[in-house]
Structure 1
């Protein structure tokens, strides 16, 4: 029995990344909706990979959100989760991970940090200040978002359905496995979140069976300045629900008040040829 147990552990160790990076198959397509206005573009990582991404520019004075999806999702899911923010005027950048959506490379913890960092660098190169960037991490994406918020003084961090660490949440499902020894990619959010200086929202469903809400409580204890919001009856699909868009938008409005409207005469222009009035505001 002991030999069989060791054999199973060895097998799990060798294939673990295939288990927790199950990149979905199928093609990626942008929603044909001019209101959302996502653009298909690419990001270049520090190790030279060119990765596909979606981007929606912000209205003047609005922050830009970088959304990192979960391990079983892709850009299409990210677009669904963030289209309500785009419609409200927020900028949205959806970086895709290596090995996902037809991108080159193989996903692992350190390289996913590179992929996420490429999105921040791209926005910085466009002249966007760090304090106008908000990182949103869903499920596995919480690990990428937390690491980058620790490194960079961004404007905010939102963790949705986040785990305290990957070994911990796997251990909650498989208590008979030595996950601290077995799991190679750790995404140790609970050890990092206390070093995040940006405002933090921790948002979790009380009925999440994949990542139990005890993970959110543990993260809150590690970062007392964070706001913890628990959505009663919501499961692990929380980020795709209309209530999530409303709750996160309310937090964003509090941290990033909408810019003051322009004076009445600055948004219109008189056409001298026919006397008509044309709207020149965005």
Structure 2
């Protein structure tokens, strides 16, 4: 049994060499298909992960009125600007926001801190707004215990006095989630179509090979060879085509994904968003591409054989 199996492997390799340009055409079709599948799957999987990060990190920003000094322990005396008195409303807004149902985390962000972040992100032109020219507001950054509760928390915080505005991402967040869903749906459909196209091309290529060897197959059947014995070399030939076609897409993925990761991830990290790390992702993707290549190659060969052999 083992000797017969290795003989089938040897026969399949000889067939690949014998068919020459037909083999090159089949391998090329698989190569192009798997490259596109790899690109689409990388986009789909990372978009799904980023959308998940975003959903778990949706923040609510509550801006306080300009005359609010919620984090100042002392304020100027209304009757004498040169004197400081204890702030009677120290952390009143903080405590009211913290008491809102489903608030998991609460952080104060001063307008000076926000200006610094803008300056770091957008350039030194924002230095013009330092000091009294700062147009920003002190704010509280709130995180909900569940993204489903964001809207209700926003509504409750708006009712607190001395809160001028509340922002939770609104339409932009919804658009990102919608875009993510579209990419997953249509990208997945397109990837499946590519796989079927590759399977069709491989089956046609192997069918032509079978047609050129139809006399040989007929002789083998006349001398009593079983269908499984005749089928195995073609089945393995399709698997070899798929395996060879997966090599270049894997190499391209290793180079391209690392370049994209190194260029994009630093800016995403500042927003607490993360792509899949290359070490784990590329290993998994490589195994997946090899598996897809072998499956579509062998299955394409099986489809072709059905016209010449009875099951």
TM-score with structure 1 length normalisation? Answer: 0.22
Query: Which structure: greater helix fraction?
Result: 2
Higher relative contact order, structure no. (Cα contacts within 8 Å, ≥ 6 residues apart): 2
Query: Which structure: greater strand fraction?
Result: 1
